[in-house]
Amino acid sequence: MWGRPHNRRKPASERRWRLPAVNWGRILLSLVSTAGVLATVAVVGTLLDRPISQVEIAGSFQRVSPIDIERAVRESVHGTGLVRVDLAAVGAAVRKLPWVDAVSVERSWPRALHVSIVEQVPSARWNEDSLINTRGELFVADARHLPLELPRLSGPDGSAAAVAQRYLAIHGRLLEAGMRITALRLDARGAWELDLDNGVSVRLGRKQIDERFDTFMSTAAKIVAQRATDIAYVDMRYSNGFSIGWRGGAARVHTTEDSAHDV
């Protein structure tokens, strides 16, 4: 009898592995295309990376000098082209200038940098040579440019932020009452005192500052508004009232019940 053919499988050691078919032509074409793109990018980058020949300055400012801005930009560029220039470094250099609050630097093709400046807006002077902006932040400026019409804030080293926040918290309420702060002082013992534009000083002391100022606004401020020319100071350091020092030399203590007696 004829038997069916017997199919023997080759041992694993006799099998031959074949690599998958590779389209070398397509790979070569892809490599050539990629190289072409990179070469094109390099050429375009070289053409665009031209020396910076102009600085465009934008912003509404009075105390920042455009000449100083342009000088700071050019010194930070170090001869690099418009593509390779470090915009963050340029902005940091401009931000170091006095009176500069914020800076934005952008490329302006084909050969310029556009620099937008926000100038600091001072709200008060600090000690002898610095200023405080409208956010209560301390910034140092040239002493020759300190606006003398601004209120004078003073205090021990490290107290600028606390004094500035106190000033920002009370000056608006005084303006509404027709008065303006000309000076606010914090002494080494922690006592607060402020001067008004009508010549009256207000002593708040070291404790319960907010409560004492509220009492001044609700009671003493009315008397000050009526008789400022006769008053030298108002002392709020009383548990149930305040005293008024008259320019003639006498002082009277006023309680919250509106009674008063000489002291």
CATH code: domain of residue 108: 3.10.20.310
* pLDDT at residue 230, as a whole number: 95
Residues 62, 104: one domain? yes
Residues 95, 165: one domain? no
Quote the number of domains for the chain: 2
Residues 180, 127: one domain? yes
Residues 241, 147: one domain? yes
Q: What kind and span of H or E run contains 183?
A: strand 181-186
Please indicate, yes or no, if residue 39 is contained in any of the structural domains.
no
Please indicate, yes or no, if residue 44 is contained in any of the structural domains.
no
The residues with which 114 forms a beta bridge, in sequence order, are 56, 106
Residues 156, 232: one domain? yes
CATH code, domain with 183: 3.40.50.11690
* pLDDT at residue 38, as a whole number: 44
Residues 79, 59: one domain? yes
d(CA 144, CA 126): 14
Q: Provide the residue range defining the domain that includes 229.
A: 122-262
Task: List the structure tokens of 103.
Answer: 């800076």
d(CA 168, CA 196): 15
Query: Is the full-model pTM beyond 0.85?
Result: no
pLDDT < 50 positions in the chain: 1-2, 35-45, 258-263
d(CA 160, CA 256): 33
* pLDDT at residue 183, as a whole number: 98
Residues 253, 131: one domain? yes
Please indicate, yes or no, if residue 20 is contained in any of the structural domains.
no
Which of 101, 119, 137 is the last residue in one of the domains? 119
